[in-house]
Amino acid sequence: MTVIVLTNCPAGLRGFLTRWLLEISPGVFLGTPSARLRDLIWAEVRQYAHQGRALLAYQTDTEQGYTFETHDHAWHPIDHEGLTLIHRPHPGRSSRGPTAPPSTGWSKAAKRRRFGGGR
């Protein structure tokens, strides 16, 4: 089983994928192409996605039973002791820099709840 998910990609790429895969939802394609055809399709998706994002997930003979690849995603697959996991960047890390400590103290909402300034 192969699943390809497209986000913000040209309509022509979606039409290209419907030759081999079934579009079960806008931008979500499902099918069972051979491994060789799947690799060729993924190469075309990467070439013609332009500024869009793409995700490929397919069955493999691993402990998880599947693997996935990404194109222009902020989330990246990483191998952790034989398991493929998704690495998601920390949401506030880029604005404060990688070495800035997290903010300490009470948030304004927590202060209102704690000290009776709320409801």
* DSSP symbols for 10-67: -HHHHHHHTTTSEEEETTEEEE---HHHHHHHHHHHHHH-TTSEEEEEEE-SSSSSEE
Assign 96 a pLDDT band (cuts: 50, 70, 90).
very low
- Owner of token pair 């309509």: 11
Instruction: Evaluate whether residue 63 is within a structural domain.
Output: yes
Domain CATH code at residue 83: 3.30.70.240
Instruction: Evaluate whether residue 70 is within a structural domain.
Output: yes
pLDDT of the residue at 26: 93
Total structural domains within the chain: 1
Of the candidates 70, 75, 74, 77, which has an alpha carbon nearest to the alpha carbon of residue 45?
Answer: 70
For residue range 18-68, what is the model confidence (pLDDT) as tens digits? Answer: 999 999 999 999 999 999 999 999 999 999 998 899 999 999 988 899 988
**87 and 68 Cβ atoms separated by less than 8 Å:** no
> In angstroms, rounded to a whole number, what is the distance separating the alpha carbons of residues 117 and 99?
34
Instruction: Evaluate whether residue 16 is within a structural domain.
Output: yes
Instruction: Evaluate whether residue 103 is within a structural domain.
Output: no
The pTM for the full model equals: 0.71
pLDDT of the residue at 95: 46
Q: Is the pLDDT of residue 13 over 50?
A: yes
Instruction: Evaluate whether residue 17 is within a structural domain.
Output: yes
